[in-house]
Amino acid sequence: MTAGTPSREHPVTHVADLPGRAARYAEWPSWADPAVVAALRDCGVSAPWAHQAEAASHAYEGRHVVVSTGTASGKSLAYQLPVLSRLAAGEKANALYLSPTKALGADQLRSVSSLDVPGVRAASFDGDTPMAERDWVRAHANWVFTNPDMLHRGILSAHGRWATFFRRLRYVVVDECHSYRGVFGSHVALLLRRLRRVAEHYGASPVFVLASATTASPASFASRLTGVPCVAVTEDASPRGARTVALWEPPLLEELTGENGAPVRRPAGAEASRILADLVVEGARSLAFIRSRRGAELAALGARRILSEVDPALVETVAAYRSGYLPEERRALEAALLSGRLLGVATTNALELGVDIAGLDAVVLAGYPGTLASFWQQAGRAGRSGDSALVVFVARDDPLDTYLVHHPAALLSRPVETAVLDPANPYVLAPQLACAVAELPLTVPELEVFGGAAALEVLAELAEQKLLRRRSSGWYWTSRERPHAEVGIRGTGGEQIAVVESDSGRMLGTVDPGSACFAVHPGAVYLHQGSSYVVDELDLETGLALVHAENPDWTTTPREVVDISVLSTQEKQDYGGVSICLGEVAVTSQVVGYLRRRPSGEVLDHTPLDLPEQSLRTRAVWYTVSAELLGPAAGGGKGWRGSSRGTGGGGAEGPAAADTEVAPDPGGSPGSLAADSGAAGGSGGAAAASAAGGATDAEAASGSVTAAGDSTGSAAARPFTTVAGSATAAGGSVSTAAASGAPGASSSGVSGDGEAGTGGHRVGTESAGPVGTGEEPLASGRGPAHEGGRTPGGAGLVPARVPGALHAAEHAAIGLLPLFATCDRWDIGGVSTAWHEDTGEATVFVHDGHPGGAGFAERGYAAIVPWLAATREAIVSCECPTGCPSCVQSPKCGNGNEPLDKAGAVAVLDTVLGALRQHGA
């Protein structure tokens, strides 16, 4: 594998061997219908694996169950067996299947239909279902395959038309349920509560069957998502081949420099492309996962170019795979890979979810996919029983990736994270409650289902706005129009910005207003369906971004300045000069320019922009450090004062440093507009348009686009203002993040493979000790931060160094939070300042990027010690002298990554961690 690397380079930082495992079979359950068993046998399933039989029996016997096992462990059978058995037996037992993407729903429908079990009338009901077929589906289908977007807009909004279906609803299958996280997850949690309420109205009480990647605490996550207690089946009995995992850090390049002269590493995509070519030469069937569509195309091209020089006959054995291809093309590529006609495929995460491809010889991951669940899901595509397989994780230029390749246990030995969601977020609760009340009047006893006191507060506000009427029996919807069409469930939107090609007038997609200045500012490179466009004009008043087709040799990275104020402090812990807080904040941001970069990372220039301020009311975690602890000696650090208010603070140390990594809608992506109206049920309201596919291939199932409402777009508005104007695109800025070569757009998260953590031998630098426990040794006192007299336990920083030290610590903390909260770096933002008006001290904030928050700040607060310890470790693990993108530089820094003090950041983090530990945190 290292054959193509120059001898002076040692990119492999760790090698681990994960042993294989034999299958454990069970008997077919006695209740399983013989026709179903026969059909499954015909497809090669001679007997169920033990976990399949166990989960299927729970479901058949009426217990809500979540099966949380590895990639390709046959999770589908766990729900197919009970549902098909009841249908084959002629029971009036309908089932509803929900998947986060349309493509996955289509795959599952195909799989069920191919079994050809008598009595089963399976059909899809999504944006692609022709109007003429919809009546048939409502009247006759007994297994409906849909997605949360369509359930929200097309089914619950018009439940009267589905009365017969609901009356018999026996099963609700929630596939790939771990992908319901963040704001989207919170919406889905409330949507499932609405579904249960409507089903109960028709006398049904369906059993929930959930399929999940291996996650920590699947039962409690499934219970939070559905609102009903679920049992978990986690013991994976499917067979698995042995695998070797190698962690790979591309070397620093001598010939190139990045921003402020910082060193840059060879891009992970280029490295993955070269490794893929080597694997193909060896005859290994391999997949390379790349974070963006364009990256996947480029990696395939790169591998083909290398092969054309080595062995031209192999060029045609390499291809790219991503969403945006036609279903037939995708099926053909999958078949070619399975048959061995294709040896190497560079893909986005489109090949991560639900596609039946496993047993490959090698998988290369270019960059951390955002969650451990995704990592194991992707890695799980490698490994045939009997044969050993290879997994190579290539680090990108990013602090989290740096940390992981130097702390293998954090990647290979940690339990997969549980998905974070917060259904009590008023920005989610308000539109969801409006929909619930419009579906059926809400009674007081039902309040508990929607969060009790939090729901009561939101309802009072909706009533005040005259959207609901409160009567003694409960809450009633007042309007003839239903709110559903105006409520997008993939974000907490505002009025959408349409992205239009000037020449043709073609609408390419939409962008959430909160991220428009970021994603489609003038000059931005905007990716759509693999094609590249450059933005000519952004008109926020008319909600229009005009673009032209162009494929430049650079990407763009916007630059923002950010201001933050504390609205309320919910939690505060003091640790002798250091305090840790959680609360509500208002973040004001302004895109002030953008950088053009070559794919190598080289910065071409910076172009200033004049765009309006945006404001976001959200939640943040922050820490403050006293001047005494920061300063060089007791009492000596009081002479300085920075500013938290942009550049005008009068502090000698310069402006506050700020980086908003605020970002894209979760799980979304801009996409082609195809009618995907949930208004089919006559719910009234604006028609919705769908967005599918996108730069990250999160493949929004049916991202809706409506332009209704009168939102000011101000995220600081009260909840229902958000509702009225809400209509969420499937995350426009994702594509810009990808286009910018940024470290990742939202990934849809995905299933994992719990065999992590089985032994390994280490190569190169390692730090000992358990990872993420906060047990790492404190800084050794290297560098100028530790020179001279200093307060015991203090950072010993002269005032001039404080802003750069905090700024660097903040960048790295943003990079590492995704290790503890299932978020993406682009879902959160941060601000640091040597003196903040509201705290009166040096402060580092990390905030959620969505109105109302999505639970990420809470996670940071709860995991403060391991999070900051990992942040510190990521910084010291990077061998660059004074800071680079792998440690403290941020791709989106509003201040052009100035000032940054790498050694100072370590000193600050040591001080904070020292105080926390000393005071028992």
Ligand X SMILES: Nc1ncnc2c1ncn2[C@@H]1O[C@H](COP(=O)(O)OP(=O)(O)OP(=O)(O)O)[C@@H](O)[C@H]1O
> What is the smallest separation between the CB atom of 703 and ligand X, expressed in angstroms?
22
Q: How far apart are CA 616 and CA 619, in angstroms?
A: 10
The reply on whether position 733 binds ligand X by CB under 6 A is: no
Q: Output 287 or 884, the one with its CB closest to ligand X.
A: 287
Closest of 847, 387, 81, 432 to residue 442, by C-alpha: 432
The reply on whether position 72 binds ligand X by CB under 6 A is: yes
Q: Output 107 or 271, the one with its CB closest to ligand X.
A: 107
The residue range among 39-47, 188-196, 291-299, 510-518 that interacts with ligand X, by the rule CB under 6 A, is: 39-47
The reply on whether position 347 binds ligand X by CB under 6 A is: no
Q: At what angle do helices 327-339 and 102-115 cross, to 10 degrees?
A: 70
The residue range among 47-55, 703-711, 884-892, 902-910 that interacts with ligand X, by the rule CB under 6 A, is: 47-55
Q: How far apart are CA 431 and CA 349, in angstroms?
A: 30
The reply on whether position 49 binds ligand X by CB under 6 A is: yes
Q: Output 349 or 877, the one with its CB closest to ligand X.
A: 349
The reply on whether position 77 binds ligand X by CB under 6 A is: yes
The reply on whether position 496 binds ligand X by CB under 6 A is: no
Residues 6+ apart with CB under 8 A from 243: 17, 18, 20, 379, 382, 383, 388, 389, 390, 391
> What is the smallest separation between the CB atom of 322 and ligand X, expressed in angstroms?
17
Closest of 342, 264, 407 to residue 764, by C-alpha: 407
Residues 6+ apart with CB under 8 A from 588: 562, 563, 564, 613, 614, 615, 616
Please list the helix, strand and coil fractions of the chain in percent, rounded to the nearest 5, in that order: 35, 20, 45
3-state SS, one letter per residue, for 251-320? CEEEEEECHHHCEEECCHHHHHHHHHHHHHHCCCCEEEECCCHHHHHHHHHHHHHHHHHHCHHHHHHEEE
Taking the chain, what is the end-to-end CA distance rounded to the nearest angstrom? 44
The residue range among 70-78, 134-142, 150-158, 777-785 that interacts with ligand X, by the rule CB under 6 A, is: 70-78
Q: How far apart are CA 883 and CA 114, in angstroms?
A: 56
Contact call for residues 601 and 264 (beta carbons, < 8 A): yes
Q: Output 48 or 853, the one with its CB closest to ligand X.
A: 48
The reply on whether position 75 binds ligand X by CB under 6 A is: yes
Closest of 571, 426, 565, 568 to residue 861, by C-alpha: 571
The reply on whether position 669 binds ligand X by CB under 6 A is: no
Residues 751-770 that bind ligand X (CB under 6 A): 751
> What is the smallest separation between the CB atom of 682 and ligand X, expressed in angstroms?
35
Which residue from 76, 690, 736, 832 is in contact with ligand X, where contact means CB under 6 A? Answer: 76
The residue range among 45-53, 215-223, 310-318, 627-635 that interacts with ligand X, by the rule CB under 6 A, is: 45-53
- Tell me which residue has tokens 């600081």: 716
Interface with ligand X: number of residues (CB under 6 A): 16
Return the DSSP state at 540: T
> What is the smallest separation between the CB atom of 582 and ligand X, expressed in angstroms?
35
Q: How far apart are CA 452 and CA 265, in angstroms?
A: 51
Contact call for residues 154 and 681 (beta carbons, < 8 A): yes
The residue range among 73-81, 158-166, 609-617, 768-776 that interacts with ligand X, by the rule CB under 6 A, is: 73-81
Q: Output 44 or 445, the one with its CB closest to ligand X.
A: 44
> In 452-577, where do the E strands start and end?
468-471, 474-477, 497-501, 507-511, 525-528, 531-539, 544-549, 555-574
Residue nearest to ligand X according to CB distances in the complex = 74
The residue range among 69-77, 158-166, 220-228, 869-877 that interacts with ligand X, by the rule CB under 6 A, is: 69-77
The reply on whether position 57 binds ligand X by CB under 6 A is: no
Residues 266-325 that bind ligand X (CB under 6 A): none
- β-pair partners for 362: 286, 390
The reply on whether position 349 binds ligand X by CB under 6 A is: no
The residue range among 7-15, 72-80, 449-457, 686-694 that interacts with ligand X, by the rule CB under 6 A, is: 72-80
Distances (CA, A) of 250 to 5, 142, 379: 10, 53, 19
The reply on whether position 180 binds ligand X by CB under 6 A is: no
> What is the smallest separation between the CB atom of 215 and ligand X, expressed in angstroms?
13
DSSP secondary structure string for all residues of 65-103: EEEE--TTS-HHHHHHHHHHHHHHTT---EEEEE-SSHH
Q: Output 329 or 356, the one with its CB closest to ligand X.
A: 356
The reply on whether position 338 binds ligand X by CB under 6 A is: no
> What is the smallest separation between the CB atom of 186 and ligand X, expressed in angstroms?
23
The reply on whether position 26 binds ligand X by CB under 6 A is: no
> What is the smallest separation between the CB atom of 752 and ligand X, expressed in angstroms?
9
Which residue from 9, 17, 91, 356 is in contact with ligand X, where contact means CB under 6 A? Answer: 356
Q: Output 37 or 691, the one with its CB closest to ligand X.
A: 37
Which residue from 74, 182, 491, 866 is in contact with ligand X, where contact means CB under 6 A? Answer: 74
The reply on whether position 64 binds ligand X by CB under 6 A is: no
> What is the smallest separation between the CB atom of 384 and ligand X, expressed in angstroms?
12
DSSP secondary structure string for all residues of 493-519: --SPEEEEETTT--EEEEE-HHHHHHH
Q: Output 378 or 677, the one with its CB closest to ligand X.
A: 378
The reply on whether position 354 binds ligand X by CB under 6 A is: yes
Q: How far apart are CA 212 and CA 223, in angstroms?
A: 13
Q: Output 74 or 885, the one with its CB closest to ligand X.
A: 74
Residues 6+ apart with CB under 8 A from 728: 488, 489, 490, 491, 492, 493, 496, 512, 665, 668, 703, 704
Which residue from 13, 57, 68, 71 is in contact with ligand X, where contact means CB under 6 A? Answer: 71
Closest of 638, 641, 634 to residue 789, by C-alpha: 634
Reading the block at residue 720, the tokens are 């229902």
The residue range among 74-82, 272-280, 480-488, 652-660 that interacts with ligand X, by the rule CB under 6 A, is: 74-82
Coil, helix or strand for 722? helix
> What is the smallest separation between the CB atom of 348 and ligand X, expressed in angstroms?
16
Q: Output 48 or 815, the one with its CB closest to ligand X.
A: 48
Which residue from 5, 13, 57, 73 is in contact with ligand X, where contact means CB under 6 A? Answer: 73
Residues 827-866 that bind ligand X (CB under 6 A): none
Residues 433-492 that bind ligand X (CB under 6 A): none
The reply on whether position 45 binds ligand X by CB under 6 A is: yes
> What is the smallest separation between the CB atom of 287 and ligand X, expressed in angstroms?
13
> In 375-477, where do the E strands start and end?
389-394, 468-471, 474-477
Q: Output 385 or 532, the one with its CB closest to ligand X.
A: 385
The reply on whether position 895 binds ligand X by CB under 6 A is: no
The reply on whether position 218 binds ligand X by CB under 6 A is: no
Vertex 368, ends 362 and 372: CA angle to 5°?
Answer: 90
Find out whether the peptide bond into 6 is cis, omega within 30 degrees of 0: no
> What is the smallest separation between the CB atom of 358 and ligand X, expressed in angstroms?
6
Q: Output 49 or 477, the one with its CB closest to ligand X.
A: 49
Residue 848 parent element (H or E): strand 842-848
Reading the block at residue 305, the tokens are 């170019």
Give φ, ψ of 97 to 5 degrees.
-110, 130
The residue range among 71-79, 135-143, 408-416, 522-530 that interacts with ligand X, by the rule CB under 6 A, is: 71-79
The residue range among 41-49, 130-138, 547-555, 788-796 that interacts with ligand X, by the rule CB under 6 A, is: 41-49
- Tell me which residue has tokens 């067996």: 81
> What is the smallest separation between the CB atom of 753 and ligand X, expressed in angstroms?
8
Contact call for residues 66 and 232 (beta carbons, < 8 A): yes
> What is the smallest separation between the CB atom of 757 and ligand X, expressed in angstroms?
19
Binding site for ligand X (CB under 6 A): 43-45, 48-49, 52, 71-77, 354, 356, 751
